[in-house]
Amino acid sequence: MATTTGDVVLAPSPVIRADKLSRTFGEGQRGVSALKGLTCDTAAGSQWAVTGPSGSGKSTLLYLLGALDRPTAGRLTVGGRDWSALSPADRALYRYTTVGLVFQEFQLIESLAVWDNVRLPFVGRRRERRMHEERARWLLEAVGMGDHLPRPAGVLSGGEKQRGALARALVNDPLLLCDEPTGNLDQATGVLVMDLIQQLAAASPAKTLVVITHDPGVAGRFAHQLHLRDGELVA
């Protein structure tokens, strides 16, 4: 990592580029700046941990990268496309086809079978249905959930739910975003889930992985790290 005049350049040939990215909640004197002029690049195929205390802007950054929110100011490009000001429909399409999200709370539809949860990103893609279903089955087997395909997500353990959520997230390329993926897991299960996340992300050379964490043990697994404090990068 190289640092110059407050800007952090992470790697060449970026798949993600943030240019003076800011997000403020509220207006006027009551406004709270969650991110303050963040500038950084990440390369395709790289793996990053984003760390910092509570309220430092970690989850805000992830929500912007995942098109779940939009910046107040600045520019954000992914794969060379500026989508800071994309329409709601285009942002939904981006989430649907390009980004995979893994949350601390799993975010599976508990009434649906694990198999159907993982296939959700493929709904409407009829021309490639067979290929997508083969990939979904392979991913569930890869995360050790091949025997749980018909089971409703609501009856699974926390570790099983997170594995199912990981399989669903890995369906899309090239960006995998994880928000405290081990936060609701015991230590042993958390280690297994992180092993799976990094191994399966590495299996796709172009897949970029960003993990938000407050856990030093999780952060220590990554050669590349960003540390945020009060919405700003700390070199």
- Residue 24 inside a domain? The answer is no
Instruction: Write the CB contacts of 184 (distance below 8 Å, at least 6 apart in sequence).
Output: 104, 105, 106, 158, 162
Rg (CA), the chain: 18
Of 91 and 151, more confident:
151
Query: Residue 136: pLDDT above 80?
Result: yes
Q: What percent of the chain has pLDDT over 70?
A: 91
Between CA 163 and CA 114 the distance in angstroms is 10
Identify the pLDDT of residue 14: 58
Identify the pLDDT of residue 125: 61
Query: Residue 1: pLDDT above 70?
Result: no
Between CA 160 and CA 231 the distance in angstroms is 33
Query: Residue 154: pLDDT above 90?
Result: yes
- Residue 11 inside a domain? The answer is no
Kindly report the pTM of this predicted structure: 0.86
Q: What is the CATH number of the domain that holds 192?
A: 3.40.50.300
- Residue 161 inside a domain? The answer is yes
- Do 79 and 155 touch, CB atoms closer than 8 A? no
Query: Interhelix angle for 187-202 vs 129-142, to 10°?
Result: 140
Average of per-residue pLDDT across 44-52? 93
Polymer length of the chain? 235
- Residue 224 inside a domain? The answer is yes
Of 54 and 95, more confident:
54
Q: For 110-130, how does the pLDDT look when each residue is reduced to its tens digit (9 = 90+)?
A: 999 999 999 887 766 665 667
- Residue 28 inside a domain? The answer is no
Average of per-residue pLDDT across 183-191? 90
How many separate domains does the chain show?
1
Print the domain residue range for 136.
Answer: 43-68+84-234
Query: Residue 140: pLDDT above 70?
Result: yes
- Residue 106 inside a domain? The answer is yes
- Residue 5 inside a domain? The answer is no
Q: For 166-180, how does the pLDDT look when each residue is reduced to its tens digit (9 = 90+)?
A: 998 888 777 899 999
Q: How confident is the model at residue 215 (pLDDT cuts 50, 70, 90)?
A: very high
Identify the pLDDT of residue 12: 40
Name residue, tokens 């060449």: 12
- Do 40 and 10 touch, CB atoms closer than 8 A? yes
- Residue 124 inside a domain? The answer is yes
